[in-house]
Chain A
Amino acid sequence: MSLQSTVADRRFAVDRQGLIRRLREVLPTPALLVEEEDMRPYDCDGLTAYRQLPLIVALPEDEAQVQAILAICHELRAPVVARGAATGLSGGAMPHPDGVLVSLAKLKKILRVDPVSRTAVVEPGVRNLAVSEAAAPHGLYYAPDPSSQIACTIGGNVAENSGGVHCLKYGLTVHNVMRVRGLTIEGEVVEFGNAALDAPGYDLLALVNGSEGLLAMITEVTVRLTPKPELAQVVIASFADVGKAGDAVASIIATGIIPAGLEMMDRKAIHAVEPYVNAGYDMDAEGILLCESDGTPEEVAEEIGRMVAVLENSGASGIRVSQNESERLRFWAGRKAAFPAVGRMTPDYLCMDGTIPRKRLAEMLQAIAGLSAKYGLRCANVFHAGDGNLHPLIMYDANQPGELDRAAAFGAEILELSVRFGGTITGEHGVGIEKIMLMAEQFTEAEIAAFHRLKAAFDEHGLLNPGKGVPTLARCREYTQARGGIAPAAPRY
């Protein structure tokens, strides 16, 4: 079964020429791409293994143009897929063959940075890092920092509820966004949340975060800004055994410390990264932990002391503490460059995103090693150890017949295991098309049906990003039957 085909589970009878004619009435000529060679760059997101041309690409410049596009698409029952910087890793921004791909990249104004209320109001195409840069003169920053933060946009961050390496202490996107202004598929303006700490009625803001563009089109976001800590320091600990590194993570939490960041990399990931960025990682280690403390200088000194003691007691074979800001950034540069570093070692790779209870880490790494042998594919592991989010990077060559399928099967087994360990198939990258079949591993048919009813509460005709995020009930049955009729193995509490 090709994952790609799920996006076309629902076809829409759209008259392309009629749609183009209507869109031309509301958009300037350069804002509409209709030739195949112009649309080609929009045929996929970061999940490059799966590509699909849309009917039309629209590049609106403001909310009014987005509104006009939606009203027309709603009237003509044409599907709409939103796209930011297309750094997503689950195919969430892959176009629909019968629909309009709406790039929000031109909505990139930072509308307001308010140092008194510690908020910034930005358009969806603003890059994550640009928000922190704009806030920096006030001693503030935007806390969620996905590894793609140089390129990824706030609109995409909201759609995916993106995480980052500091979310154990500072939260995910959903914890740092106060208000999302958007448009319904009908083209009506809606505001989820507000400039206060809560809003009346249901928490629709929480629903919209991570909804993968299935509920509304985002046109403006108010984010919370966080005071920059006076000081941050990171400890790197080497371990000769990944199990011990995993135990060290639990011990740190048990001591009552919530590190600002707590990351782990295995030997393959270290060996990919070190020659690439010279971060100073221990090439002899089986695993390393990066453990960060931030706060006042007094607080950091006290906490680093406690962290070092725990790491020593946990059997670390080497410990280094960053001595200045440039060394700290260098230590982190390795972790942040892990994906491109692995990309240098292999023609292609798939990045998995399961989350598991931390205590199952060693078991999971062992299982991954077994699967690596079974499928004959290499796999490097980077891990947001603090919050249990694992990113195995499965290396393959798409030009070798069958390798993509093997890599996908390898990944699916890891995610099935994540669910069985009491976790989830996706911690921060989203379901998109990549994990859509695996939703049937994690949820029952009744739960999937509830998701469809929820979606219909926002988008009656299912026009926003169809074929993503939630599988059809027919697909769920197909998945269950393919597995011998066994219903989801998820521990149901």
Chain B
Amino acid sequence: MDTLIGDWIGRIAEAARSGRPLAIRGGASKAFYGGPEQGEAFDVSAYRGIVAYEPTELVVTARAGTPLVELAAALAEEGQWLAFEPPHFGPAATVGGMLAAGLSGPRRQAVGAVRDFVLGVKVLTGLGEVLSFGGQVMKNVAGYDVARLMAGSLGTLGVVLEVSLKVLPLPVAERSLRFALDEATALARLNQWGGRPLPISASAWHDGVLTLRLSGAAAAVAAAQRELAGEALGDAEGEAFWDSLREQRHSFFAGDAPLWRLSLPSATSVQALGPTLIEWGGAQRWLRGGDPMGIRAAAAKAGGHATLFRGDQALKRSVGVFQPLTAPLARIHRHLKRAFDPQGVFNAGRMYPEF
């Protein structure tokens, strides 16, 4: 056993004994996300490095402290990447933080989310056990899919030590197109196009402008561009635009007003709850400010949910970061937490205040 992990196991036992929870930290780039950190900071960023990478197997295994930029560079050398375009939110972002936050970028609707690319994990539980789930192969149904469960669990179930991820070849060609459309028309078009075999890899609507990105084989991108028309963006301009969305540097995200993320069925009609930026073909809608209870109710009514993505601690405390769960689901959550972290050592209150 790695001495580093041996030390951590001691620290976890001590935390369990003393009842002082640990707040797991990688690059701290997503510290803003979720409930406030509680307890002692537990820096796990030192456990880093790519363990195995086989381009022809389409699999990479990396330690959780590996910076995302380092992983991306290694994949790019082989013409591959993490196709779900995870947001970094800072240069220090790590693979472990990416998995724990479970956030995906502009390509999510086209290719899937972080959880869809997770093949295996090695995790250090609140009992101080190092356990492996899943593996390095594409298909694996032995045992419960704990590896995917870790995606988006916000470190509440344990410290992720290693992750195996499916990687994909970089798209051969990309082209971004712009259309002047109001919100309702843009939503209708996105859902209509979504039902056709078009190589749309990202979409965003804001302030009367719909931007689309086409990705794939050169011939397919060219054919779709001819059909959809629209105003083509330069390659650099297009890339900068999608980066600014993924990293939330776009002007929509500036300022201190609370930022809400609404995850809705893509065909949900215009919500008119405040300034809006739409992504994922209508399935992800960002909102600035607004009435928290009204937002939560509207999201639930539409069949989705609303997350207070960025906001001050007072607001987070009063309305909660995540949409409340139904009673049976809340019970299953508490029991799962207990199954992996019975003493409540990790990331207390980061997901829901009860655990």
Contact = CB atoms under 8 A, between A and B. Distances in A.
Interface of A: 114-119, 138-140, 160-161, 163, 167-168, 171-172, 174-175, 184, 188-191, 194-204, 206-207, 209-211, 215, 227-230, 250-251, 253-254, 256-258, 295-296, 298-299, 301-303, 355-359, 384, 386-389, 422-431, 435, 439, 442-444, 446-447, 450-451, 453-458, 469-470, 490, 492-493
B230 interface: no
A387 B55 CA distance: 13
Interface string B142-158: 11111011011100010
B309 to A, nearest CB: 12
Contact of B125 (A211, A442, A450): A450
B339 A190 contact: no
Contacts of A163: 139
Given A200-B305, A424-B142, A450 B340 contact: yes
B263 A115 contact: no
Given A118-B194, A171-B112, A458-B335, A254 B56 contact: yes
Nearest to A212: B141
Given A359-B54, A450-B340, A190 B328 contact: yes
B335 A357 contact: no
Contact of A302 (B132, B151, B218): B218
Interface in B312-355: 322-326, 328-329, 332-333, 335-336, 338-340, 351-352
Interface stretch (B67-75, B250-258, B264-272): B264-272
B97 interface: no
A424 B220 contact: no
Contact of A387 (B139, B142, B303): B139
Given A295-B197, A359-B57, A435-B142, A457 B338 contact: yes
B222 interface: yes
13 contacts: A118-B194, A118-B195, A195-B303, A197-B284, A295-B217, A298-B223, A384-B139, A431-B143, A444-B131, A451-B144, A454-B336, A457-B332, A457-B336
A388 B339 contact: no
Interface string B95-117: 00000001000001100110110
Nearest to B338: A457
A454 B326 contact: no
Contacts of A299: 199, 216-217, 219-220, 223
B151 A203 contact: yes
Interface-centre pick from A196, A200, A426 (highest chain B CB count, 10 A)? A200
Contact of B122 (A119, A191, A254, A493): A493
Contact of B332 (A190, A197, A211): A190
Contacts of A203: 102, 115, 148-149, 151-153
Contacts of B267: 114, 116-117
Interface-centre pick from B140, B266, B305, B325 (highest chain A CB count, 10 A)? B140
B134 to A, nearest CB: 8
B113 A190 contact: no
B217 A174 contact: no
Contact of A493 (B51, B109, B223): B51
B137 interface: yes
B196 interface: yes
A228 B52 CA distance: 36
Contacts of A119: 265
Interface-centre pick from B116, B170, B307 (highest chain A CB count, 10 A)? B116
Contacts of B338: 453, 457
B135 A423 contact: yes
Nearest to A114: B267
A200 B223 contact: no
Contact of A447 (B133, B145, B169, B322): B133
Contacts of A301: 219
Contacts of B122: 492-493
Given A196-B304, A424-B137, 14 more contacts: A118-B194, A167-B139, A203-B152, A251-B56, A253-B58, A256-B172, A302-B217, A357-B54, A358-B56, A423-B135, A450-B340, A451-B143, A451-B144, A490-B132
Nearest to A298: B219
A96 B145 CA distance: 24
B98 to A, nearest CB: 15
Nearest to A446: B129
B131 A446 contact: yes
Contacts of A174: 116, 145, 148
A454 B141 contact: no
A190 to B, nearest CB: 5
A453 B143 CA distance: 12
Contacts of B28: none
A222 B323 CA distance: 21
B108 A253 contact: no
A407 B144 CA distance: 27
Contacts of B234: none
Given A140-B195, A200-B322, A295-B216, A422 B135 contact: yes
A314 B312 CA distance: 59
A227 B197 contact: yes
Contacts of B58: 253
Contacts of A139: 195-196
A303 B136 contact: no
B29 interface: no
Contact of A202 (B109, B219, B336): B336
A487 B313 CA distance: 49
B168 interface: yes
Nearest to A247: B56
B304 A207 contact: no
A27 to B, nearest CB: 24
B10 interface: no
A228 B198 CA distance: 10
A454 B153 CA distance: 15
Contact of A210 (B79, B137, B144, B339): B144
Contacts of B264: 196
B139 to A, nearest CB: 4
B280 interface: yes
Contacts of B152: 198, 202-203
Contacts of B265: 117, 119, 195-196
B223 A296 contact: yes
Nearest to A427: B139
A355 B220 contact: no
Interface-centre pick from B51, B54, B192 (highest chain A CB count, 10 A)? B54
A451 B140 CA distance: 15
